[in-house]
Structure 1
Amino acid sequence: MSAPLDENTRSIILATVPALKAHGLAITTEMYKRLLATPAIRDLFNLSHQQDGEQPKALALAVLCYAEHINDLGALGGMVERIAEKHVGLNILPEHYPYVATALLGAIGHVLGDAATPEILDAWGKAYWFLADILIGREKQIYDGNESMPGGWKGWRAFRIRARRNETATIVSFDLVPEDGGALFRHKAGQYLSFKLDVPEHGSQRRNYSISSAPGADHYRISVRRQDGGVASTWLHDSVKEGDILQVANPAGDFFLNDADSNPVVFLTAGVGLTPVISMMGELAQTRTNRHIHYIHGAESRALTAFVPQIDDLAKSDRVKADFFYSKEQAPAQDGTPGVTTHAGRITPAWLLQTLDRTATYYICGPDSFMRDMVEALKSAKLPATQIRYEFFGSAADPELVLSAA
């Protein structure tokens, strides 16, 4: 365990904040260039986030956030937990951390040149290992906890695709069962699975997909949208069939239902961001909860909206009130289901505030711009932060979302 950071080290780290604001992205881009030169490390990453620049942006924000809060690290608890869960999903191990340290310090020296004095590099070395030890310790707790639970495992486990079905023209669901026939770990509604995929002509790929099935089922279901140019999603849609085997890590993620919360629930989603929420609604339906549930979803059209029949069934049983927004339908027809209303256009902050339930906990998932608009609207209405929860898709490179959730 690293020693606590001394005052001099923390002062030096704080003094580097302006340099990080000016050169942070250049530093993290150079860091990944160095890091990914090692094949064993390169295979741990989602390389699509390197190509579009999202991963360096996300790390630059995290490093800046760490530096700015170096005297109040308790404020970073949420960010640390998200990173630890992500690392567990990707099977990051203690032996991987020295590679990152070498790449990060080398990148700082390369980008800052003579401004990266020995004192600055020494301070950042201490700061890195202080945080690394926190993450390693928390990741061990998660690994050990998962492995000790019924059906839990550590590392990669082979799962067979028992069934696949088209939810829409762009979303396919896959039902996964353990190839070894063993028990299935009961995930928390909202968590995701991480996959080690061997994609022909693209090699080893890492991806995360939210579990869309409710906890307690005899399988995991993921629902994957085809991404334009997406290596993994295109392969899954076009080539992966029933009976195929995929390598899967134990469920992970810190976006899940709070069992201790009895507030009404508002699920606010757009696009494929509905997948973790469908799992949450499935769990609430199983428990026959008395909590009021309001589901709000935005999509281009009804035809491109997955799980509409399931939502209709919940609405018919008076367990869910639903509002669907279709941005490419001028006058969307009502489907006649009591409790379900359709709207033309997108979900707007103004509409959200008009329907605001101050007693509810909001669970938000979708594209970064959508989540930012929704979160900002709720915060502008002075809704407590404890009642605003959201999931990061992709690499979490939106600064306002990352820093507000730290």
Structure 2
Amino acid sequence: MSISLTPQTRTIVKACIPALEAHGVDITREMYRRLLSDENIRDLFNISHQKNGDQPRALAYAVLAYARHIDGPTALKDMIERIAEKHVGLNILPEHYPHVGTALLGAIAHVLGEQATPEIMEAWKEAYGFLADVLINRERQIYEDHAARKGGWTGWRAFRIADRHEETADTVSFILQPVDGQPVMQHQPGQYLSFRLDIPGHGPERRNYSISSAPADDHYRITVRKQEDGVVSRWFHDDVRAGDTLDVSAPAGDFFLQSSSERPLCFISAGAGITPVMSMMEALTTRTSHPAIHFIHGTQTADNEIFARKTHGLAACGAITADLFYSQMNSLPQRTDGLNCHTGRLTPSWLKAHKDRQADFYICGPTEFMVSMIHTLREQDIPMDRIHYEMFGSASTPYLVTQA
């Protein structure tokens, strides 16, 4: 394992920053083309993220961030942790890394052509090897932690659909229980499960879905919103029924409730972004005491409001205060104690006027929504260590990748 990068390698990698800025996505697109033709590794990837370009963009930004911080890669610890958790969820193993390295180096040489001198290629080989070692070691630690936990496991474990419940016309919750009847590892509220699927007519797929329930010893709940162009989400809605079995890896993810904080909590979500937030709120509100909770959520209409009964119930009993924004409604649901309803979208100006400067913030939703909320809080001098976020799919926004 590389102990550190040589000064020459760091100098060469930094000199490549302009080329990465100009050709980074071309390089990562070519890299994924090579990986998807490699039968040893192609089934590990989410094909939809390849089709819409999210994954190549995400990796291009990550490689660029690595080059920019090559002299002090500890600045990228949050990005590295997020990647490691994602890899653990997908059961990425050390033997997969050489395939990725070969594809990346081949893509650099292909795209840069004559500019990819032997010195440049050797530097990137060393830089990739160093980063791979960092990830492999961190992932090993996470795997070992999972194996040691009560109910924990590594690899894929068979779970049965114990029940399904229609939350809205396009959103369904599934209760998952292990086929072996043994306990399950209690997740950190906010984490996700990863699934190894074989979709009839489409083949192998990998997906992550947030756990939407409080931690338990015997089950998990996921909540899936149907996307019209989503192969997997449509399959869950149309075909998955009670009694079906799925291959599931242990809970993973670096977006979870920080138990040590006693500050007020503000949860900000939109659409299906409510799923990890509901796990957090359910976990908190079952305790005898918990910090003040302010829940801010955006949805289109009352009809497609996920977990509406739970949210309204928590507000009615005083467990939370809530502000709900309905972007496509002119008349609002009846106001109840602890819950305010608004027409239109949640705006930066509203958040600025109603935020609690002392709170910890947890944000989940579509990319543009999240970037807007994070920028707004940063403009109000909220420290980044009190802003926690989860973005579904690939982290394709450079602001979120680098935590600028």
Q: Partners of 2:323 and 2:273 in 1: how far apart?
A: 15
The residue matched to 1:397 in structure 2 has which SS? coil
Q: Partners of 1:90 and 1:132 in 2: how far apart?
A: 16
User: What residue is the counterpart of 2:57 in the other structure?
Assistant: 57
User: What residue is the counterpart of 2:308 in the other structure?
Assistant: 308
User: What residue is the counterpart of 1:364 in the other structure?
Assistant: 363
TM alignment of 1:341-356, pairs within 5 A: 341-356=340-355
Q: Partners of 2:376 and 2:265 in 1: how far apart?
A: 17
- Residue 39 of structure 1 deviates from its aligned partner by 2.1
Between 282-291 and 181-190, report the one with greater CA deviation. Answer: 282-291
- Residue 288 of structure 1 deviates from its aligned partner by 2.7
Tell me the alpha carbon deviations over residues 154-181 of structure 1, each in whole angstroms, 9 at most, x when there is no partner.
0000000000010001110000000010
Task: Report the RMSD for the aligned CA atoms in angstroms.
Answer: 0.9
Q: Partners of 2:402 and 2:304 in 1: how far apart?
A: 32
| Residue identity in the other structure for 1:132 | A
Q: Partners of 2:219 and 2:252 in 1: how far apart?
A: 16
Residue segments in structure 2 that go unaligned for 5+ positions in a row:
none
Tell me the alpha carbon deviations over residues 352-395 of structure 1, each in whole angstroms, 9 at most, x when there is no partner.
00002110000000000000000000000111111111002111
- Residue 217 of structure 1 deviates from its aligned partner by 5.2
The residue matched to 2:133 in structure 1 has which SS? helix
User: What residue is the counterpart of 1:232 in the other structure?
Assistant: 232
Deviating above 3 A after TM superposition, structure 1's stretches of 4 or more consecutive aligned residues are: none
TM alignment of 1:156-167, pairs within 5 A: 156-167=156-167
Q: Does 1:338 align with 2:313?
A: no
The residue matched to 2:128 in structure 1 has which SS? helix
User: What residue is the counterpart of 1:74 in the other structure?
Assistant: 74
Aligned residues: 404
User: What residue is the counterpart of 2:42 in the other structure?
Assistant: 42
- Residue 258 of structure 1 deviates from its aligned partner by 0.5
The residue matched to 1:92 in structure 2 has which SS? coil
Tell me the alpha carbon deviations over residues 181-204 of structure 1, each in whole angstroms, 9 at most, x when there is no partner.
011110000000000011001111
Q: Partners of 2:330 and 2:393 in 1: how far apart?
A: 30
Q: Is the CA contact (8 Å cut-off) linking 2:162 and 2:242 kept in structure 1?
A: yes
Tell me the alpha carbon deviations over residues 101-126 of structure 1, each in whole angstroms, 9 at most, x when there is no partner.
10000000000000000000000000
User: What residue is the counterpart of 1:28 in the other structure?
Assistant: 28
User: What residue is the counterpart of 1:205 in the other structure?
Assistant: 205
Q: Is the CA contact (8 Å cut-off) linking 1:331 and 1:343 kept in structure 2?
A: no
Change (3 A) 1:274 1:325: same
Tell me the alpha carbon deviations over residues 30-81 of structure 1, each in whole angstroms, 9 at most, x when there is no partner.
0000111012311001100001010000000000000000011110000000
Q: Is the CA contact (8 Å cut-off) linking 1:13 and 1:124 kept in structure 2?
A: yes
- Residue 222 of structure 1 deviates from its aligned partner by 0.2
Q: Partners of 1:52 and 1:31 in 2: how far apart?
A: 15
| Percent identity over paired residues | 55
User: What residue is the counterpart of 1:294 in the other structure?
Assistant: 294
The residue matched to 2:310 in structure 1 has which SS? helix
Between 381-390 and 359-368, report the one with greater CA deviation. Answer: 381-390
User: What residue is the counterpart of 2:382 in the other structure?
Assistant: 383
Q: Is the CA contact (8 Å cut-off) linking 2:28 and 2:104 kept in structure 1?
A: yes
| Residue identity in the other structure for 2:205 | Q
Q: Is the CA contact (8 Å cut-off) linking 1:294 and 1:322 kept in structure 2?
A: yes
Q: Partners of 2:114 and 2:289 in 1: how far apart?
A: 62
Q: Is the CA contact (8 Å cut-off) linking 1:35 and 1:99 kept in structure 2?
A: yes
The residue matched to 1:122 in structure 2 has which SS? helix
TM-score by length of 1: 0.98
Q: Partners of 1:3 and 1:62 in 2: how far apart?
A: 21
| Residue identity in the other structure for 1:207 | R
Q: Partners of 2:114 and 2:278 in 1: how far apart?
A: 53
| Residue identity in the other structure for 2:264 | P
Q: Is the CA contact (8 Å cut-off) linking 1:105 and 1:125 kept in structure 2?
A: yes
